[in-house]
Amino acid sequence: MLNKDGFTLIEMIIALSICAFLTPLVFSVLNAMLHVPKQEYATSDRIMIHQLRRIFAEGSEAAIEDQTLVLLYRDKESVLQIDQNRLVKRPGYEIFSSNLQSAQFYKEDTCIYLRWKHTHEKTTKQALLGC
């Protein structure tokens, strides 16, 4: 009779070879997952700027008041402001960007710009909204 209390040498070799094969795959997947948020911000920032430029182009009488951008958009007064680390448009609560550490509208000559920084990024970004 055979005693089946342990593993055979062949079973151990097969298990170790499977672990040796899967380990680099797991590390490459984890490394790719660490780089995803950086790409996500870049895409969402491009979409945000495109939407804000469209609103600014369709709007009129834009003015900066107390870190907010106030303008007439579709015959209604709209306010772009920071609320709970999000850039939102009121009335309503249309969210353009989230996870913002800081954001501010500023006017230079006759043009209006947006400067912002996400919570887990080191660089501050800025974009022209319109003149």
Span 32-48, pLDDT tens digits = 877 766 656 788 899 99
21 within some domain: no
32 within some domain: no
In this model, does residue 109 exceed pLDDT 60? Answer: yes
9 within some domain: no
In this model, does residue 29 exceed pLDDT 90? Answer: no
Residues forming a β-bridge with 103: 116
Tell me the pairing of strands 100-108 and 94-97: unpaired
103 within some domain: yes
75 within some domain: yes
Q: Structurally, how many domains does the chain consist of?
A: 1
pLDDT average, residue stretch 14-30 = 91
Domain of residue 46 covers 37-130
49 within some domain: yes
In what order do the strands lie in the sheet containing 100-108? Answer: 100-108, 111-118, 125-130
76 within some domain: yes
| Rounded Cα gap, residues 107 and 109, in angstroms | 6
3 within some domain: no
| Rounded Cα gap, residues 56 and 95, in angstroms | 16
State the pTM of this model: 0.70
At 119, is the pLDDT very low, low, confident or very high (cuts 50, 70, 90)? confident
